Amino acid sequence: MNALANNPTAQAVDNVLIYIFGFSLILLLGITVVTVWLVIKYHRSKHPEPTSEVSHSILLETIWTLLPTLIVLTMFWYGWTNYTGLREVPEGALEVKATARMWSWTFEYPDGQRASKLYVPVGKPIKVQLISTDVLHSFFAPAFRIKRDTVPGMETYIWFEATEPGSYDIFCAEYCGVGHADMTTSIEALNEADFAAWQQPKATGGEARGLAVMNELGCVGCHSLDGSEGIAPSLFQLAGQKRNLASGGEITINAEYLKRAIRDPNAEVVAGYDPMMPAYDENTMNDADLQAVVDYLLGKVQKPVAPKIDARALLENNGCIGCHSNDGSESIAPTFKGLGSRQVTIIRDNEEKTIKVDAAYLRQALLNPNKELVKGFPAIMPSADYLSDEEIDALVQYLLQQ
Ligand code: HEC
Ligand code: HEC
Ligand SMILES: [Cu+2]
């Protein structure tokens, strides 16, 4: 455990704590010492008779009223200014949406990426928007001294900034049911390069080079890529199309024609358009880029295939594993192990029925969990309807093989 962290939120809290605790300690010791000293000094054995008759002292009373008031006010002021610092998110913060549910956390990034741990870059403020889908939870990251409830139907937030790479605990700090103690995860603070690398593989695939060149050189200022014609022909699905030329005659679009159309646009002008396209010579567009553009226009570049959905990761990142196990152990929800070849007894409209697990049943179990309840289990499973169709399919296929 790091006693004193040097990240901004921890520092703000620690400073106030030390200030208040320090003053309290000084007062405690001071008052105790003086009390003991007076008890000894004025003990009755030494002074059998009352010594003097002081009724009051304006000076003393003023001091002991004003001094503590001032001390307490500085405590308030110091605490208040640091507290507002905890609520004012610095500019340029990365916003991450944290969803709490029984009994797990999911973090969603602006680019749509989801993770079960909170990956953050070092040296950048992070605003965490807190959402709960079911009951009260509380986001607690002790290393940053931040703790905030997540409330169903309400959005709360906290912010922090990691100053050193490392792994920092996150707990749920609001008792939320049987799995509460397991509702832990971590903040993984990565340096900039590692964070960029973490973001990479799951990003939506690198843009094709050809498209990038066309964006850089401004072709899309005149040409549309979606079939709509404007001042220039659309460059949508060109492969095999025929063109009427202004000079008369017809030509079938192929690689040679496209290369000429780019290097020397006036050689063949498409009928119905002004010959206003600038020529792109090798200095503006080298041969490799020309080839990339032509490949792109002819549809030879494979569209980046959607990354294969990793069902196991889905289970972990969406909190399924908080309730269900993979290994046959059963707690508050049926285990996934052996699910695909299982007979289950379900309760539907108050009637018991035993059925064989199949894809249709699993789909229903995911999207409409309370319609058919597995006998002996409570109706606590949240619907997974926030997942895409593809994700649901992937989960169903995966679960069938368990
Ligand atoms: C200033 C507007 C303009 C810009 C910029 C421009 N074009 Fe063109 N382009 C045209 C016009 C107008 C035509 C049709 C007349 C012609 O054939 O020259 C055309 C024709 C073409 C054709 C033949 C299309 C067909 O349907 O047969 C291709 C291919 C093409 N452009 C590619 C490009 C590429 C690649 C770039 C960027 C490197 C680019 N153009 C930039 C205006 C533009
Ligand atoms: C809050 C705890 C909880 C969470 C989170 C949860 N489940 Fe469940 N799940 C249950 C319970 C309890 C049952 C049994 C009662 C019922 O049928 O609803 C169940 C039933 C199921 C069933 C039917 C199992 C069987 O034996 O027939 C499937 C499949 C399932 N869950 C998949 C998932 C998936 C996938 C996720 C994540 C997207 C998930 N669950 C998240 C608690 C949970
Ligand atoms: Cu919780």
- The verdict on 289 and 324 lying in the same domain is no
Q: Average pLDDT of 241-254?
A: 88
Residue 2 lies in a domain: no
What's the gap in Å between 182 CA and the centre of ligand 2?
17
Q: Which residues surround ligand 3, an ion (CB under 5 A)?
A: 137, 172, 176, 183
- The verdict on 174 and 113 lying in the same domain is yes
Domain range for 129: 94-199
- The verdict on 239 and 282 lying in the same domain is yes
Residue 304 lies in a domain: no
290, 259 Cβ separation under 8 angstroms: yes
Q: Average pLDDT of 113-138?
A: 90
Which residue puts its alpha carbon closest to atom 42 of ligand 2?
Answer: 381
Residue 303 lies in a domain: no
φ/ψ of residue 174, rounded to 5: -140, 115
Which residue puts its alpha carbon closest to atom 22 of ligand 2?
Answer: 365
- Pure H helices in 88-228: 192-199, 209-216
- Choose one of 237, 269, 297: the last residue of a domain: 297
Residue 164 lies in a domain: yes
What is each CA distance from 246 to 89, 238, 256, 266, 267, in whole angstroms? 61, 18, 18, 10, 10
Q: Average pLDDT of 343-347?
A: 89
Task: Determine the pLDDT at residue 2.
Answer: 47
- The verdict on 137 and 80 lying in the same domain is no
- The verdict on 18 and 70 lying in the same domain is yes
- The verdict on 112 and 187 lying in the same domain is yes
Q: Give the whole-number percent of the chain exceeding pLDDT 90.
A: 37
Highest mean pLDDT among 65-79, 202-216, 309-323, 335-349: 65-79
Cis amide leading into 103 (omega within 30): yes
pLDDT digits (tens, 9 = 90+) for 66-78: 999 999 999 999 9
Ligand nearest to the CA of 140: 3
What's the gap in Å between 138 CA and the centre of ligand 2?
23
Which residue puts its alpha carbon closest to atom 37 of ligand 1?
Answer: 219
CATH number of the domain where residue 361 is located: 1.10.760.10
- The verdict on 104 and 180 lying in the same domain is yes
Q: Give the number of the atom of ligand 1 that is nearest the alpha carbon of residue 221.
A: 5
- Choose one of 269, 297, 325: the last residue of a domain: 297
Its pTM stands at 0.51
- Choose one of 87, 122, 141: the last residue of a domain: 87
Q: Give the number of the atom of ligand 2 that is nearest the alpha carbon of residue 177.
A: 1
C-alpha 400/C-alpha 326 separation (Å) is 13
Ligand 1 proximity of 217 Cβ (cutoff 6 Å): yes
Burial category of 391 from C-beta neighbours within 10 Å (exposed 0-12, middle 13-18, buried 19 and up): middle
Task: Determine the pLDDT at residue 93.
Answer: 93
- The verdict on 352 and 373 lying in the same domain is yes
pLDDT digits (tens, 9 = 90+) for 274-318: 888 888 888 778 888 898 889 888 876 654 445 577 888 888 888
| Residues with a CB atom less than 6 Å from ligand 2 | 102, 315, 318-320, 322-324, 332-334, 339, 344, 362, 365-366, 369, 373-374, 377-382, 384, 395, 399
* Structural domain count of the chain: 4
- The verdict on 213 and 274 lying in the same domain is yes
Q: Is residue 249 pLDDT above 70, yes or no?
A: yes
- The verdict on 132 and 150 lying in the same domain is yes
Confidence of residue 138 (pLDDT cuts 50, 70, 90): very high
Q: Give the whole-number percent of the chain exceeding pLDDT 70.
A: 94
Task: Determine the pLDDT at residue 206.
Answer: 38
